[in-house]
C-alpha cells in the first residue's frame, strides 16, 4: 500500500509569546493531501496562532512545519508559494479595485500576470461584475469573497480559511461552502477554522479539536460522529406518567417534565442498542406510545462535551 | 529573486501616488513656489549675493533637499505603516518574498516618487530664477542617494510607529528642524563660530552642501565629506533595516 505523504506536517510545534502566554503546546498534526480539514476550538484556543505560524506570519518558538516537504522557515519560498490564506479579519486595501487587489496578490506570490485566471476566479466567486469597483463600496460578504479571490490568485495547493463565513448571511454561507467543495474537487487541500460547527459537519472530511493550545483530538468526521455521537429515542406517550415505572428502571430512561415523553439514550457503537428489549418491556408494562423519533448528537454537542471534559 | 513581487509592490505603491496626486505632487510644488515668492522675491531681493550667487538661486538646492527629505520619509513611512494599520501586512508576511525584496520595492517606490518630485520642483524653480547645474552627474547622485537614504529612514519610522501620531513625530520634531537648521536658506559660514561648529553635527548640512556644490561649484563643506556622510547615514539605515527584519521587530511576534 502506498502511504501518501501529508501535504502539511506539524511536528512538536510550540509558540510562547513574549508575555509568557503559551498559545501552542507541542502540536503534532498531519493534513492529508486533498482533504477538507476543520479545526475547531473555543475562542483563544490557538486556532489562528497555528494557522499564522504555518503561513509565516508568526514565528514558532520550537518545532517544525513542512508544507509538501518544504520547511516553512528554511525553505519559505517554496512552502509559501503553495499556500493561500484567507484571514479572519476583513483586511483589504479599501481604495483599490477588486481587479487590482487580486492581481497584486498574484504578483506578490511570484506569479506572472494571468488575466484569464483572475477572470475565472472572479467569475467563480460571483465577483466579475464588481471587478472595477473599489473595495470600500462592497458589502461584508463581497469583501470576504475578495479575500478568497486574493488567496486563490496564485493557484495555491493548500488553502487556509480562518473563520471564512464569520458575519456572512446564510445564503452567502451556503454559496461559500459550494465554492470550497469545488476547490476541493480541483485538488486543493483546505484547512478551515470555524465557530459554525454546522460548517464543519457539512464540509469536513476530518475534524481536529484544539483547546488551550493543545490538539485534543483528530478524527474522521464520520468516525467522530459514530464514536462519540449518542442517539436518543424519544417516545411520545398516549397517557402521561408521573414517574418511570420500576419495571423499566434498568433501561435508564428519562421522563420529560410534563410526563408525556420517555427519553432513551443509547450508544451507537454498542453491539446491542437495547431498543428491542425496551419496546418489549414497555409493552409488558402496558405503556402505549403514539409516536417516536430518534436524534443523533450534532458535532456541536460532541465538541462542547469534549472541550468541557478537558476543563 | 521574486521579481514579480518587487514589481507588484512597486506598482501598487506608485499607483497610490497617482491616486493621491494632489497630496503627493501638487501640494509640495505649491508650497515650494510659496517659498520662492516669500524668500526668493520678497525677502531675497533685500539680501545680497552669497558666494556670488543670487539669494533666489542659492536657496534652490536647499528647497529641493527640504522636499526630498520630507517626502522620502513621508512616502516610505506611510507605505509600510498603512498595511500594518489596516492589517493587510498579513499578505506581505505570508508571501514568498525576502526582506531584501520588500525593502527594494517599498524604498524603491518611495525614492522614485521623491526623485520625480525633486525634478518637478527644480523645473518649477527654473520658472522663478535662472538655474545652472555645473555638475549634473553629482547632482543626480546626491538626488538619488538622499532619496534612497531617507526613504530607508522613513521605512524604519513606519515600522517603528504604532500610531499616526508617532508616524508624524520624527519628521515633525527632528527632520524639519534639522532641515531648516541645515543651511537650506543660508550658508553656515554666515553663522557665529559656535553655531557653525554645532551645525557640523547636523547631517542635513552635508546633504545640502553637497547638493548645492553640484549646482554652483561652491559649498560649506568639502564635497567628498558630504558624500561620505551621506553614505555613512545610508549604511546606518541599511544596518537598522537589516536588524529589524532579522529580529522581526514590530512586524512579527
Per-residue model confidence as pLDDT tens digits over B188-221: 888 888 888 888 888 889 989 999 999 998 888 8
Q: Three cell numbers at A253?
A: 430512561
| pLDDT tops 70 at residue A1 | no
Q: Are B210 and B230 in contact (CB under 8 A)?
A: yes
The shortest C-alpha distance from B144 to chain A (Å) reads: 26
Query: Chain A: residue nearest B250 by CA?
Result: A58
Query: Can you list the alpha helix ranges (DSSP code H) found in chain B?
Result: 3-19, 21, 27-35, 55-86, 89-94, 99-128, 136-160, 164-170, 176-180, 193-199, 203-216, 223-247
Query: Chain A: residue nearest B11 by CA?
Result: A104
Note the pLDDT tens digit of each residue in B110-158.
Answer: 999 999 999 988 888 888 888 888 999 999 999 999 999 999 999 999 9
Q: Are B188 and B205 in contact (CB under 8 A)?
A: yes
Percentage of chain A lying above the pLDDT 90 cut: 51
* Cβ <8 Å between A91 and B96: no
> Rounded to the nearest 5 degrees, what angle is found at the Cα of B32, between the Cα atoms of B30 and B34?
70
- Considering only CB atoms, which chain B residues are within 8 Å of A155? none
| pLDDT tops 60 at residue A27 | yes
| Partner B contacted by A247 (CB < 8 A) | no
Note the pLDDT tens digit of each residue in A66-118.
Answer: 999 999 999 999 999 999 999 988 888 888 999 999 999 999 999 999 999 99
Confidence band (pLDDT; 50, 70, 90) for A153?
very high
What does the pLDDT read at residue A261?
92
Q: Three cell numbers at B120?
A: 518637478
- Considering only CB atoms, which chain A residues are within 8 Å of B93? 55-57
Range in A54-58, A123-127, A241-245, B19-23 the model is least confident about: B19-23
* Cβ <8 Å between A91 and B88: yes
The shortest C-alpha distance from B82 to chain A (Å) reads: 9
| pLDDT tops 70 at residue B73 | yes
Q: Are strands A70-71 and A261-267 parallel, antiparallel or unpaired?
A: unpaired
* All residues at 6 or more sequence positions from B40 whose CB lies less than 8 Å from its CB, including other chains: B55, B56, B59, B128, B129
Range in A63-72, A169-178, A185-194 the model is least confident about: A169-178
* Cβ <8 Å between A108 and B95: yes
DSSP code of residue B38: I
Three-class DSSP category at B115: helix
The shortest C-alpha distance from A295 to chain B (Å) reads: 43
| pLDDT tops 80 at residue A311 | no
* Cβ <8 Å between B96 and A81: yes
What does the pLDDT read at residue A110?
95
What does the pLDDT read at residue A228?
66
Note the pLDDT tens digit of each residue in B4-37.
Answer: 999 999 999 998 888 877 777 788 788 888 888 8
- Domains defined for chain A, CATH in brackets: 8-225 (3.40.50.300), 230-296 (3.30.70)
Q: Among B88, B93, B96, whose Cβ lies nearest the Cβ of A110?
A: B96
What does the pLDDT read at residue B248?
77
Mean pLDDT of chain A: 88
C-alpha closest to that of B77 among B46, B110, B104, B44: B110
Note the pLDDT tens digit of each residue in A195-250.
Answer: 677 778 888 999 998 988 999 889 898 887 776 667 889 999 998 998 888 888 88
What does the pLDDT read at residue A229?
65
Q: Three cell numbers at B119?
A: 525634478
| pLDDT tops 90 at residue B102 | yes
Q: Are A202 and A171 in contact (CB under 8 A)?
A: no
* Cβ <8 Å between A110 and B253: no
Q: Are A193 and A36 in contact (CB under 8 A)?
A: no
What does the pLDDT read at residue B218?
84
The shortest C-alpha distance from B173 to chain A (Å) reads: 30
What does the pLDDT read at residue A87?
92
| pLDDT tops 70 at residue B52 | yes
Q: Are B129 and B121 in contact (CB under 8 A)?
A: no
* Interface with A, mutate which of B83, B94, B246, B253 (most A CBs under 10 A): B94
Q: Three cell numbers at A85?
A: 490564506
C-alpha closest to that of A112 among A143, A155, A160, A141: A155
- Considering only CB atoms, which chain A residues are within 8 Å of B88? 91-93
* Cβ <8 Å between B94 and A85: yes
Provide the number of CB pairs (under 8 Å) joining chain A to chain B. 77
* Cβ <8 Å between B91 and A150: yes
Top-confidence residue, A67 or B248: A67
* Interface with B, mutate which of A22, A60, A73, A107 (most B CBs under 10 A): A107
- Considering only CB atoms, which chain B residues are within 8 Å of A107? 4-5, 7-8, 11
| pLDDT tops 60 at residue A2 | no
What does the pLDDT read at residue A68?
95
Count CB atoms within 10 A of the CB of residue B31.
Answer: 14
Percentage of chain B lying above the pLDDT 90 cut: 41
- Considering only CB atoms, which chain A residues are within 8 Å of B9? 108
| Partner B contacted by A85 (CB < 8 A) | yes
Domain definitions of chain B by residue range: 3-247
Amino acid at each position: 500500500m502506498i502511504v501518501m505523504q501529508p501535504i502539511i506536517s506539524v511536528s512538536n510545534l510550540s509558540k510562547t509569546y513574549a508575555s509568557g502566554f503559551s498559545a501552542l503546546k507541542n502540536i503534532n498534526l498531519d493534513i492529508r493531501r486533498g482533504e477538507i480539514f476543520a479545526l475547531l476550538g473555543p475562542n483563544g484556543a490557538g486556532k489562528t496562532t497555528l494557522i499564522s505560524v504555518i503561513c509565516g506570519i508568526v514565528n514558532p518558538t520550537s518545532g517544525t512545519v513542512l508544507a509538501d516537504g518544504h520547511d516553512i522557515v528554511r525553505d519559505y519560498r517554496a512552502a509559501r508559494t503553495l499556500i493561500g490564506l484567507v484571514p479572519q479579519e476583513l483586511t483589504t486595501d479599501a481604495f483599490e479595485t477588486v481587479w487590482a487587489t487580486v492581481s497584486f496578490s498574484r504578483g506578490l506570490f511570484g506569479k506572472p500576470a494571468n488575466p484569464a485566471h483572475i477572470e475565472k476566479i472572479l467569475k467563480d466567486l460571483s465577483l466579475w461584475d464588481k471587478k472595477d469597483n473599489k473595495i470600500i463600496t462592497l458589502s461584508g460578504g463581497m469583501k470576504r469573497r475578495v479575500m478568497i479571490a486574493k488567496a486563490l490568485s496564485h493557484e495555491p495547493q493548500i488553502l487556509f480559511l480562518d473563520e471564512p463565513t464569520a458575519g456572512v448571511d446564510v445564503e452567502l454561507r451556503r454559496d461559500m461552502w459550494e465554492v470550497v467543495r469545488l476547490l476541493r474537487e480541483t485538488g486543493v487541500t483546505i484547512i478551515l477554522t470555524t465557530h459554525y460547527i454546522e460548517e464543519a459537519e457539512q464540509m469536513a472530511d476530518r475534524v481536529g479539536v484544539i483547546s488551550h493550545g493543545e490538539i485534543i483530538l483528530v478524527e474522521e468526521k464520520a468516525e467522530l460522529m459514530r464514536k462519540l455521537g449518542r442517539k436518543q429515542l424519544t417516545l411520545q406517550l398516549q397517557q402521561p406518567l408521573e414517574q418511570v415505572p420500576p419495571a423499566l428502571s434498568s433501561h435508564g430512561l428519562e421522563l420529560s417534565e410534563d410526563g408525556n415523553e420517555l427519553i432513551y439514550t443509547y450508544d451507537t457503537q454498542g453491539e446491542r442498542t437495547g431498543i428491542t428489549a425496551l419496546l418489549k418491556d414497555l409493552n409488558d408494562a402496558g405503556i402505549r406510545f403514539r409516536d417516536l423519533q430518534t436524534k443523533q448528537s450534532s458535532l456541536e454537542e460532541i465538541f462542547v462535551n469534549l472541550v468541557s471534559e478537558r476543563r | 529573486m521574486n521579481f514579480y513581487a518587487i514589481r507588484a509592490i512597486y506598482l501598487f505603491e506608485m499607483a497610490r501616488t497617482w491616486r493621491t496626486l494632489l497630496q503627493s505632487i501638487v501640494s509640495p510644488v505649491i508650497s515650494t513656489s510659496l517659498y520662492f515668492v516669500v524668500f526668493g522675491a520678497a525677502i531675497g531681493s533685500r539680501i545680497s549675493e552669497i558666494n556670488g550667487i543670487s539669494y533666489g538661486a542659492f536657496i534652490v538646492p536647499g528647497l529641493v533637499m527640504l522636499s526630498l527629505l520630507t517626502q522620502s520619509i513621508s512616502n516610505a513611512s506611510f507605505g509600510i505603516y498603512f498595511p500594518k494599520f489596516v492589517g493587510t501586512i498579513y499578505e506581505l508576511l505570508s508571501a514568498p518574498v525576502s526582506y531584501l525584496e520588500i525593502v527594494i520595492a517599498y524604498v524603491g517606490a518611495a525614492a522614485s516618487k521623491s526623485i520625480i518630485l525633486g525634478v518637478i520642483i527644480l523645473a518649477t524653480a527654473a520658472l522663478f530664477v535662472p538655474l545652472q547645474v555645473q555638475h549634473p552627474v553629482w547632482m543626480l547622485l546626491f538626488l538619488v542617494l538622499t532619496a534612497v537614504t531617507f526613504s530607508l529612514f522613513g521605512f524604519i519610522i513606519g515600522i517603528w510607529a504604532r500610531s499616526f501620531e508617532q508616524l508624524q513625530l520624527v519628521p515633525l520634531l527632528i527632520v524639519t528642524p534639522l532641515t531648516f537648521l541645515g543651511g537650506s536658506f543660508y550658508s553656515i559660514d554666515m553663522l557665529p563660530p559656535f553655531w557653525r561648529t554645532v551645525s557640523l553635527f547636523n547631517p542635513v548640512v552635508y546633504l545640502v552642501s553637497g547638493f548645492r556644490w553640484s549646482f554652483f561649484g561652491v559649498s560649506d563643506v568639502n564635497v567628498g565629506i558630504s558624500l561620505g556622510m551621506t553614505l555613512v547615514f545610508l549604511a546606518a539605515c541599511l544596518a537598522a533595516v537589516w536588524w529589524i527584519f532579522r529580529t522581526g521587530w514590530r512586524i512579527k511576534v
